Structure 1
Amino acid sequence: MIQKQSHFPPMRRTAPWCKEKSVRPYLPLTAHITDQFSRARSRMSCVPPWVPQFDRCLSKVVGPRLFTLCTISPDGMPHARTCVFRSWLFNDRATGVLLFTADKRSLKIGDMNAHQGRYEACFYFDQSMRQFRLSGFAQTITASEVPSLQASIPQSAPLKSPSTSSRSSSTTSVSPPPSNSGGANNNDHDEREPRKDTTEPSYYPIFTPSYDSSQTYSTEFPPPSKEEWLAEYDRLWNLMSPELKKSFRRPTPRTLVDDQSRQRIDAIFRGVDGDSDDAGKDNFLVVALFVNSVDALQLDGQQEPDSRRIYSRLFNDEWTEQEVCP
C-alpha cells in the first residue's frame, strides 16, 4: 500500500504478513497452521524489504565479505573498524540479523556495551555500486551468555525525531507509529526530510528455528531457546579456520609487546604452544547486528540516475520504505 503524503516523500508500509509484492517469502509456509499462530508463521516467511537486494550483493562478493563497523567509545570518540560478515542468524536471511565474530577482549565490544549496543555498519559493493548503511543495536553470544531480546535495550534510531527521542526506553512494550494522516504532529517535521517514525522499543521478533506449527506456544513470537543460541555460537566457531582460531589464543589485543608476549605469539604462530584449537574459544564471541534502519544508495550515473531509499523498522517486523534524494 502506497501512502500519499502532502509534505513528505511517498512511504511504502510493509505489512508484517507480506502483502507487499516487494517483500517475497523466503521460507515455505507450513500448511494447516492453527488459527492462533497462522499470522505468526506467515511472518516467519517474510524477509525485511531491504534484505533481498542486499543478499544478492553479498552473493556476488569474491573473498571475505568486508564491512566497516562504527562505534563510539565510552569517552565519546568515534571508531571505525573493518569486520567480516559471517552469516545470517541461524543461517536464515529471513531474520534480517547479521553476524560477525570478534575477540571479547577487543575494544569494539566495550564500545558497544557502553552505548546499549548501538552501531552503524557500512557495506559497499563495488560490482553493483551499491552502498548499505545499517544501524540498530547489537547483542553478543558467548559460551555462557545469549541475547535477551525482551529486555529493555534502547534501539538506535538515526531517523529519530525530537518528539520520540524524549520517550523512555525502559519499557518493553511496543507502541504504534505516529499517524501519517497529517495534523499538528506533522508540523514538527521538515518537509524536505523523510518521515522519522522509527520506534524506541527494543523488542525484536526472532522466532525459534525449531518452530513447529503443531505445538502450542505461550507467545505469538516464540523466541529461540538458550540451547538454540548456544548451538548457533558453536556453528560460528566451527566456521573458523584453524588459523583464525589461533588468534583467540594470543595475548589481549592492544597490550604492549614484551618478551613474554612475543614468545607466546611466536609459539602460537608456529603451532608449538601446546594448546588445542579450542583453547581460545573462551575469548570468542558472536556479535548479532539487529537492524532498525537501512540507508540504501544506488550509484550509477550512466545507465540510470542515482537512487536512494530509507527503510525503517516501525513495529515488530513492520517496515516503511521511502525514496529520498540521493
Structure 2
Amino acid sequence: MLQSLALWNPSFTAAMQTELETGDSPFTIFNFSNVDSNNYPSTRSCVLRGFLFDQEKTNVLVFTTDKRSSKYKDLLLNPRFDACFYFHKLKKQFRFRGTVRMISDDLTPVIAYENPSAINEQSNDRADSDTSSVDDESQSLISQYLSLSNNEGSCQITEPLHYKLFSPSFIKSFEDSSVSLSDLGHRMTKTESVSKTPTAEEWENERLRVWNALSRNMRKSYKKPLPGSPLTEENRKLLDAINRGVDGNNSSTGYENFVVICMFVDLVDEVVLGGSGYDRRYLYRRTHNDTWKEHEVCP
C-alpha cells in the first residue's frame, strides 16, 4: 500500500485546524526538545510549517532553522527529538518522539523503504510477541515512550531511515495509472523500491517550497549575522540595514543558511482533557512494517 494517514494524524490535524480557525495566531507553535553537545536537554518554541511535501499522508511534520544555529549542529550529532503541542480550544496535548532528518544545501534525507512483505517476514517473531497480551503490549508501549530513547544503538543523521515515504512524482504517476493501490506492495521488489523514494531534486524542491511559503520578514532573518554572535557596532548596522531592506551590498539571500527539519515520528502520546472530569490518553507506536498501533491507557 502507498503511504496513508497514521492513526494519530486525523485527531492531530483536526485539533490544529480548529486552533488556527478559532485562535488568535495564524501559526501553530510547539515546543521542540533535543539533546545538545554537552548532553543537556535543549527546548525551544518553534513554528510548524505543515507536513512534508505538503501532504498529510507522509505523517512527517516539518519546521525550519538556520544552518548556523546551535540547534542544527546539535541535531547533526544526535537527531533524536521530542516535540509537544497543546491545543487550547480542544484541550488536547500531543507529544511526538522520533528522529529528524534535514534538508539543506549539502544534506538530504536517505530513505530506505523496503518491500512491505519482506518487512512482515522479518518481523513475524516480534508480531507474535506483540499480540500475546493486550495488557503486556500496552505496558511495553508505555515503557518505550517513557524510556530515554525509542531506538537502541547508534543514531546518525546520515543513516538510511526505514520509513514508508514515496517520491511525490511516483505517487502522482501511480495514481494516474490503472494499477490497484492494493497491488503495489506485491509488485515492487526491493531493487525497484529504491527509485520510488524521493529524489535529490524533489528534496530541493521541497526546501524551496517551504522557503517561498515564509513571509518576507522571516526570510530576512536568515541574512542576519551569526546567531548568538556579539552585538558589535558592525553587526548592529547590518541588522538595521537588513530590517530596512537597504543592505544592497550584501550578496547573501539567506537561502544558503535555510534548513528544513523533518520530524519522522515513531511514538505519539495524546492526552485529551475532559470537561466532565474524565480525561483520556492514547499511545501510538509505529511498527517495523510501518503500520501504527494504538492503545488507550490511564491518563
Shared topology, TM-score over 0.5? yes
Deviation (angstroms), 1:175:
4.3
Aligned equivalent of 2:106, options 126, 144, 152: 144
What's the counterpart of residue 205 of structure 1?
Answer: 164
Aligned partners of 2:143 and 2:81: how far apart in 1?
Answer: 21
Aligned partners of 2:140 and 2:256: how far apart in 1?
Answer: 50
Aligned partners of 1:202 and 1:144: how far apart in 2?
Answer: 18
What's the counterpart of residue 12 of structure 2?
Answer: 54
Aligned partners of 1:237 and 1:89: how far apart in 2?
Answer: 13
What's the counterpart of residue 92 of structure 1?
Answer: 55
Aligned partners of 1:290 and 1:82: how far apart in 2?
Answer: 18
1:50–1:279: structure 2 CA closer, same or farther, 3 Å change rule?
A: same
CA contact (8 A) 2:92 2:273 kept: yes
Structure 2: gaps spanning 5 or more residues: 21-25, 114-120, 153-159, 180-186
What's the counterpart of residue 202 of structure 2?
Answer: 228
1:283–1:192: structure 2 CA closer, same or farther, 3 Å change rule?
A: closer
Matches within 5 A, 1:6-155: 40=1, 43-44=2-3, 46-62=4-20, 63-115=26-78, 117-150=79-112
Counterpart of 2:285, as a letter, is: S
1:316–1:180: structure 2 CA closer, same or farther, 3 Å change rule?
A: closer
- After TM superposition, what 4+ stretches of structure 1 lie above 2 angstroms from structure 2? 173-178, 180-183, 189-202, 212-221, 275-278
CA contact (8 A) 1:203 1:316 kept: no
CA contact (8 A) 2:51 2:60 kept: yes
Deviation readout 1:120-147 (Å, 9 max, x if unpaired): 0000000000000001000111133211
CA contact (8 A) 1:174 1:203 kept: no
CA contact (8 A) 2:138 2:295 kept: no
- Match of 2:19, SS state, is coil
1:190–1:148: structure 2 CA closer, same or farther, 3 Å change rule?
A: closer
How well do the aligned residues superpose, as a CA RMSD in angstroms? 2.9
What's the counterpart of residue 164 of structure 1?
Answer: none
- Match of 1:273, SS state, is coil
Deviation (angstroms), 1:202:
3.8
Find out whether 1:312 has 2:285 as its counterpart.
Answer: yes
1:140–1:193: structure 2 CA closer, same or farther, 3 Å change rule?
A: closer
- Match of 1:210, SS state, is helix
What's the counterpart of residue 180 of structure 1?
Answer: 130
Aligned partners of 2:16 and 2:203: how far apart in 1?
Answer: 24
Deviation (angstroms), 1:190:
9.8
CA contact (8 A) 1:248 1:283 kept: yes
Deviation (angstroms), 1:227:
0.9
Structure 1: gaps spanning 5 or more residues: 1-39, 152-172
CA contact (8 A) 2:51 2:61 kept: yes
Aligned partners of 1:110 and 1:245: how far apart in 2?
Answer: 20
CA contact (8 A) 2:103 2:204 kept: yes
What's the counterpart of residue 248 of structure 1?
Answer: 222
What's the counterpart of residue 257 of structure 1?
Answer: 231
77-86 vs 53-62, greater mean Cα deviation: 53-62
What's the counterpart of residue 118 of structure 2?
Answer: none
CA contact (8 A) 1:207 1:223 kept: yes
1:206–1:281: structure 2 CA closer, same or farther, 3 Å change rule?
A: same
- Match of 2:16, SS state, is helix
**TM-score, reference length from structure 1:** 0.72
Deviation readout 1:153-208 (Å, 9 max, x if unpaired): xxxxxxxxxxxxxxxxxxxx97453513549xx99x99697474966694111001
- Match of 2:201, SS state, is helix
State the identity %: 34
1:82–1:195: structure 2 CA closer, same or farther, 3 Å change rule?
A: closer
What's the counterpart of residue 28 of structure 1?
Answer: none
CA contact (8 A) 1:199 1:314 kept: no
1:191–1:60: structure 2 CA closer, same or farther, 3 Å change rule?
A: closer
Deviation (angstroms), 1:319:
1.1
- Match of 1:87, SS state, is coil
Aligned equivalent of 2:263, options 272, 289, 305: 289
Q: Which has the higher helix share?
A: 2
Counterpart of 1:132, as a letter, is: F
Counterpart of 2:165, as a letter, is: I
Aligned partners of 1:147 and 1:310: how far apart in 2?
Answer: 27
Aligned partners of 2:210 and 2:122: how far apart in 1?
Answer: 31
